Amino acid sequence: MSTNNVAIVGGGIAGLATALCFARKGITTHIFERSAELQEVGAGLQLTPNVTCILRDLGLLPALQQRWFEPEVVSLASGISLKQLGTVPVRLHSEKEWGAPYGVLHRASLQQILVNAVVENPLCSLYLCQSVESPDAQALRTPFAGNRPDLVVAADGVWSRLRNFVPSGPDISFSGNIAWRMTIPQQDAPAFISRDSVTAFLAPSAHLVTYPLRETNSINIVAIGGGINPGEAWATPAGATQKALLEQTFRGWNPAIRTMLLSVPDVTFWPLFEAGAGRWHNGNDLVLIGDAAHAMMPFSAQGAGMAIEDAWELANAVSQKPMADALAQFEASRQKRIKMVHRRGALNKFAYHASGPFRLGRDLLLSLRAPSSFAHDLDWLYGYRAVNA
């Protein structure tokens, strides 16, 4: 193994998971985070079996299971009539068919579990208040006696600065969609909101996802619809203009859903950006992972999951091959996987937001399919095992 130390820029889920995956291979990592404290924005997070199998191998599953909730099913329902259209079994099905559990929890809970594991691991070091905008930044050299680390991992998110140093790297563009994220106490949630499942409510041009958060005894709500490009914005409190757009987007939906959405005082406005095609590494000592490489729409609930898969496969490749070969293998393997997830997300978007005859056809198709058939469609996604495990 020629790699002895790795610098990771970004202390979010992607960066922390990367540090733990490298430590598993005996490689020292130093994480550089620009914030003074680690605070995960957003609310709920779905952890599917392709991800929880990795977290289990990192020894994190017991801590996660103390905080998360395992939903019975993922349900698809009409956002207009509230009628159930179809279900995907997950709680009993996940371990049996996909080899690992399916859980939902608050993003902050996952981040805290990752932070605790990093702090306790002697091969991991975490530095806060470190703004790194170049792979040659002095901050990156300090832990390595003035030398550049063997590898710099850019886990610095959708607005990555290090992406500028990857020739022909991906471009970021506004997807045309906005997410409004919020939570409500479970005791205040309307009766039609399931307390034991993930539910996606579908209607023309928008959809809504709800599920329980055990740690906060609340219901996580993500509402997604069209919007205009707000520029380089990310997860800001929704003001009057953003709430008016929410009201407009869900006009025509079931009145009970509209009342619920418009009654929540604290809403996060989350413009959705996507990464285009491009290279993820410089062929030598810099590689992009997570949103820095492949920011994607949440239509498959795989944003964090793909970052954790990245972390696992990158650490395995680097620990087994010369750096140039490892980075090439990582990029080839992961880009193939990401393309498949992108395609599934595009299909889900079309199905979720369908209108007119397409919506009628979708509802009929969903009503005719058995739950086991829905589950089988996800074998390639949830049953995936990261390469070189």
Per-residue pLDDT of the chain (389 residues; tens, 9 = 90+): 567 889 999 999 999 999 999 999 999 999 999 988 877 666 899 999 999 999 999 999 999 999 999 999 999 999 999 999 999 999 999 999 999 999 999 999 999 999 999 999 999 999 999 999 999 999 899 888 888 899 999 999 999 999 999 999 999 999 999 999 999 999 999 999 999 999 999 999 999 999 999 999 999 999 999 887 776 666 788 889 899 999 999 999 999 999 999 999 999 998 999 999 999 999 999 999 999 999 999 999 999 999 999 999 999 999 999 999 999 999 999 999 999 999 999 999 998 998 898 888 988 888 888 888 889 999 999 999 977 65
Count structural domains, the chain.
Answer: 1
> Residue 112, SS3?
helix
Decide if 338 is inside a domain. Answer: yes
> What does the alpha-carbon distance between residue 35 and residue 30 come to, in Å, rounded to a whole number?
15
Give the pLDDT confidence score for residue 33 in this predicted structure: 95
Residue 223 backbone dihedrals phi, psi, to 5 degrees: -110, 130
Report the Cα–Cα distance between both ends of the chain, in Å, rounded: 16
Give the pLDDT confidence score for residue 360 in this predicted structure: 87
Decide if 322 is inside a domain. Answer: yes
Domain housing 301: 5-171+275-382
Give me the CATH number covering residue 110: 3.50.50.60
**206-213 and 218-226 strand pairing:** antiparallel
Distances (CA, A) of 21 to 8, 26, 60, 165, 177: 12, 9, 12, 24, 33
- Residue 50 near residue 381 (C-beta atoms within 8 A): yes
Among 123, 115, 108, residue whose Cα is nearest residue 29: 123
Decide if 296 is inside a domain. Answer: yes
Decide if 189 is inside a domain. Answer: no
Torsion of CA 242, 243, 246, 248, to 10 degrees: -100
Give the pLDDT confidence score for residue 127 in this predicted structure: 95
> What does the alpha-carbon distance between residue 157 and residue 163 come to, in Å, rounded to a whole number?
10
Which DSSP letter does residue 100 get? S
Residue 150 burial (10 A CB sphere; 0-12, 13-18, 19+):
middle
> Residue 231, SS3?
coil
Decide if 258 is inside a domain. Answer: no
* Residue in this structure with the two tokens 């906005």, named with its chain if needed: 178
Give the pLDDT confidence score for residue 388 in this predicted structure: 60
Decide if 221 is inside a domain. Answer: no
> What does the alpha-carbon distance between residue 184 and residue 189 come to, in Å, rounded to a whole number?
7
Give the pLDDT confidence score for residue 234 in this predicted structure: 64
Residues 6+ apart with CB under 8 A from 292: 10, 14, 154, 155, 156, 157, 158, 160, 162, 163, 275
Give the pLDDT confidence score for residue 41 in this predicted structure: 64
Decide if 241 is inside a domain. Answer: no
Give the pLDDT confidence score for residue 364 in this predicted structure: 85
Distances (CA, A) of 249 to 185, 264, 352, 381: 24, 16, 14, 30
* Alpha helices, DSSP H, located in 100-228: 107-120, 138-141
**268-275 and 84-89 strand pairing:** unpaired
